[in-house]
Amino acid sequence: MTTTMADNVVVEEEPHTGAVFWVLLGIGIVWILLSFLLLQFTYASITAISILVGIVLLLAALAEFGVAFMVRGWKWVHVLLGILFVFGGIWAFAYPGETFGTLAILFGWYLLIKGTFDVVLGFMTHGEHLWWLQLLVGFTEIAIAFWAVGYVGRSAALLLLWVGIGALMRGITTLILAFNVRKLGTEGAL
């Protein structure tokens, strides 16, 4: 631990706090760039879209496993989400010929689980740094999940839109986590 003076207050900072912040910041930026790329391209093939959804789900699994080992508390939830996302990614790769409906339902479940987690986390951190943004992102993910699962006129363009927005939401929540880790680390609470 290092000791720093901030406004005449001694703050104990754990040595890994800075590294965790930068890793999470980088992951968040990558998710946002990925969402931009996803929303930029159009794919006509169901196989290409299946592979794209599988990649996004596997990246989400890696991010959940990484977060589980970087922050304290609720590790089991991150590991469980990571496992579910691995199964979803494998499903998308194993059955690339499935219909858009199946892929939309699969990705809808991803958004529902992640959105519910973000809403709960937003309420749990009420009054903390950026808690309201976490809550807003969670409700948006849940709304998109219901749209993805319940919309009858599913198409390749809509599926790409849902996956792109899901990646954007993932990037935003990872950035929120990065800044919360940085804030908690400088307060000596991490």
Cα dihedral 174, 176, 179, 184, rounded to 10, equals: -100
Predicted TM-score of the model (pTM):
0.67
pLDDT in tens, 118-154: 899 889 888 887 888 889 999 998 998 888 887 766 6
pLDDT in tens, 142-188: 998 888 887 766 666 777 788 888 889 889 988 988 888 888 776 65
| Helix, strand, or coil (residue 16) | coil
pLDDT in tens, 58-77: 888 888 888 788 767 778 88
User: What is the H or E stretch that residue 4 is in?
Assistant: strand 2-6
- Radius of gyration in angstroms for the set of CA atoms belonging to the chain, rounded to a whole number: 18
Distance, CA of 26 to CA of 22 (rounded, Å): 6
What the block records as the tokens of 8 is 């005449």
SS3 letters for 136-189?
A: HHHHHHHHHHHHHHHCCCCCHHHHHHHHHHHHHHHHHHHHHHHHHHHHHHHCCC
pLDDT tier at 8 (50, 70, 90 boundaries)?
very low
pLDDT in tens, 25-57: 998 999 899 888 877 766 666 777 778 778 888
Query: Looking at residues 8-22, what average pLDDT do you find?
Result: 59
> Nearest to residue 103, comparing CAs of 168, 162, 41?
162
Longest dimension (CA), the chain: 63
pLDDT in tens, 72-97: 777 888 888 889 889 888 888 887 76
**What domains, with CATH codes, occur in the chain?**
2-186 (1.25.40)
Write the DSSP assignment of 28-52 as a string of letters: HHHHHHHHHHHHH-----HHHHHHH
Cα dihedral 48, 57, 22, 67, rounded to 10, equals: -170
